[in-house]
């Protein structure tokens, strides 16, 4: 898609996606909960970290390659689990997974995906990761874990910060459903999104593929909505992780850690990695940004577990800042979804190429040639978030 070549930054892809994706799904991606203060802080707080520029250093050969829980990656970046990805573009999860495979970074499939675990496995050749929510229906959860194992998923990412749903005003006002209801407002919006309509017309995947047909009594979108509303489990506690880890039997990652004490719990429960994340500012509004929480968690458990980072990354420079503060890997969500909305698989590949180039050049300006050697010394003010309360 030639016009993608004109995109030189993630913001360019965001604007393209906004023009092509129906409003309810664009707003689902590009918004947070309540006043969106945490959503905005996730992005804005990166800019408070200033680089220490170096010169006259031999930067002729540079390396971005790394590992994440033993998996070789072309750069320390993974595609985060995002619900409704197949509503941003038809077969969106498959296209994103293919893009990640081509670039050489991990892809994580959400429980609330449109394409199922089996769909993605059928259309890719590289093992991907699967993200799991804790639900009341433990039988369904065990079946879901078994399906992920059968599909060859190489890691399970357990999300801990969605015991209850955050108040997302735009989703409520838009009447978010998958697929969209045929209301006059929606039909008028869809009439201006021909590329999206075409992409959805070419696929049969328009519901939540991991759930529809896999839960007793859930056979259509109406019964699915009722089931889903009751399923997120507010009784989730650290003891639940033991049986999940046993049922899975492989690499386990816990996502949603924003507190040093919770990070220590993650270590004790035997997780292989944790992800510092506030769910993209979509859950507790008024919480600190993910980047502000990162240094304290690294200080608490960085020697005991791989600490990864998620939240607000819109450039390769943001990746570099997170690595400098101790993250061993990073996740992008909105950044790749903007690429997907702008141009399908090619758009996701473009987003990853933009981030890789920005990461490479920024690292060079800081006088470093290997991502494995990046540390806090590339920042002029790495202590900027030290005023956060430590627990």
Dihedral sign for Cα atoms in the order 164, 166, 167, 172: negative
Q: Is pLDDT of 336 > 50?
A: yes
Q: Is pLDDT of 362 > 50?
A: yes
Per-residue pLDDT averaged across 348-358, rounded?
A: 98
Nearest in space to 343 (alpha carbons), one of 146, 161, 95, 171? 95
Q: Are strands 108-109 and 77-79 parallel, antiparallel or unpaired?
A: unpaired
Q: So what's the pLDDT on residue 173?
A: 94
Residues 6+ apart with CB under 8 A from 136: 230, 231, 232, 233
Q: So what's the pLDDT on residue 217?
A: 72
The ranges assigned to domains in the chain are 2-371
pLDDT averaged over every residue in the chain: 95
Q: Is pLDDT of 32 > 80?
A: yes
Q: So what's the pLDDT on residue 140?
A: 94
Question: pTM for the full model?
Answer: 0.96
Instruction: Tell me which DSSP letter residue 249 carries.
Output: -
Nearest in space to 332 (alpha carbons), one of 62, 107, 37, 114? 107
Judge contact between 17 and 265, C-beta under 8 A: no
Per-residue pLDDT averaged across 301-321, rounded?
A: 98
Judge contact between 341 and 89, C-beta under 8 A: yes
Tokens at 27, concatenated: 């707003």
Q: So what's the pLDDT on residue 60?
A: 97
DSSP string, 274-321: EEE--GGGTS-TTSPPHHHHHHHHHHHHTTTSEEEEES---SHHHHHH
Q: Is pLDDT of 1 > 70?
A: no
Cα separation, 254 vs 244, whole angstroms: 11
β-pair partners for 274: 254, 307
Per-residue pLDDT averaged across 124-151, rounded?
A: 96
Please pick, among 123, 214, 265, 279, the residue that the annotation labels catalytic.
Answer: 279
Q: Is pLDDT of 381 > 90?
A: yes
Per-residue pLDDT averaged across 261-282, rounded?
A: 98
Confidence of residue 111 (pLDDT cuts 50, 70, 90): very high
Active-site residue flag, 214: no
pLDDT more than 90, % of the chain: 91
Q: So what's the pLDDT on residue 391?
A: 43
Q: So what's the pLDDT on residue 223?
A: 66
2-371 CATH:
3.20.20.70
Cα separation, 181 vs 87, whole angstroms: 13
β-pair partners for 293: none
What confidence tens digit (pLDDT) does each residue in 187-227 have? Answer: 999 999 999 999 999 999 999 999 988 887 776 656 666 77
Q: So what's the pLDDT on residue 120?
A: 98
Confidence of residue 387 (pLDDT cuts 50, 70, 90): confident
Per-residue pLDDT averaged across 103-111, rounded?
A: 98
Q: Is pLDDT of 102 > 90?
A: yes
Residue of higher predicted confidence among 165 and 203: 203
Exposure of 7 in the CB half-sphere (CA atoms within 13 A): 30
């Amino acid at each position: 898609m030639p016009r993608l070549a004109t995109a030189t930054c993630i913001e360019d892809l965001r604007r393209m996606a906004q023009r092509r994706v129906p409003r309810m799904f664009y707003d689902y991606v590009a918004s947070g909960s309540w006043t969106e203060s945490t959503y905005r802080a996730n992005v804005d707080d990166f800019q408070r970290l200033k680089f220490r520029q170096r010169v006259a250093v031999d930067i002729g050969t540079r390396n971005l390659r790394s590992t994440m829980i033993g998996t070789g990656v072309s750069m320390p970046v993974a595609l985060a689990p995002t619900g409704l990805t197949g509503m941003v573009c038809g077969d969106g999860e498959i296209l994103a997974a293919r893009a990640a495979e081509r670039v050489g970074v991990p892809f994580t499939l959400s429980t609330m995906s449109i394409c199922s675990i089996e769909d993605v496995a059928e259309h890719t050749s590289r093992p991907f990761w699967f993200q799991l929510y804790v639900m009341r229906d433990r039988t369904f959860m065990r079946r879901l874990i078994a399906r992920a194992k059968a599909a060859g998923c190489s890691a399970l990412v357990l999300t801990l910060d969605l015991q209850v749903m955050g108040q997302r005003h735009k989703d409520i006002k838009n009447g978010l459903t998958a697929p969209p209801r045929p209301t006059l407002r929606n039909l008028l919006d869809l009439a201006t999104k021909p590329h999206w309509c075409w992409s959805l017309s070419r696929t049969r995947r328009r519901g939540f593929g991991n759930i529809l047909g896999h839960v007793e009594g859930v056979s259509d979108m109406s019964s699915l909505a009722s089931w889903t509303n009751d399923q997120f489990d507010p009784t989730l506690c650290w003891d639940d992780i033991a049986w999940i880890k046993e049922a899975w039997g492989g690499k386990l990652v816990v996502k949603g850690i924003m507190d040093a004490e919770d990070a220590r719990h993650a270590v004790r429960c035997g997780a292989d990695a944790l992800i510092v994340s506030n769910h993209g500012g979509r859950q507790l509004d008024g919480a600190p940004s993910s980047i502000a929480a990162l240094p304290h968690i690294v200080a608490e458990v960085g020697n005991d577990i791989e600490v990864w980072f998620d939240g607000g990354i819109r450039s390769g420079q943001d990746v570099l800042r997170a690595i400098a503060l101790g993250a061993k890997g990073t996740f992008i969500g909105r950044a790749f979804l903007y690429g997907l909305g702008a141009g399908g698989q090619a758009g996701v590949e473009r987003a990853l190429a933009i981030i890789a180039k920005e990461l490479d050049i920024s690292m060079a300006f800081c006088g470093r040639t290997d991502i494995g050697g990046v540390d806090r010394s590339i920042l002029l003010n790495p202590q900027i978030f030290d005023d956060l309360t430590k627990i």
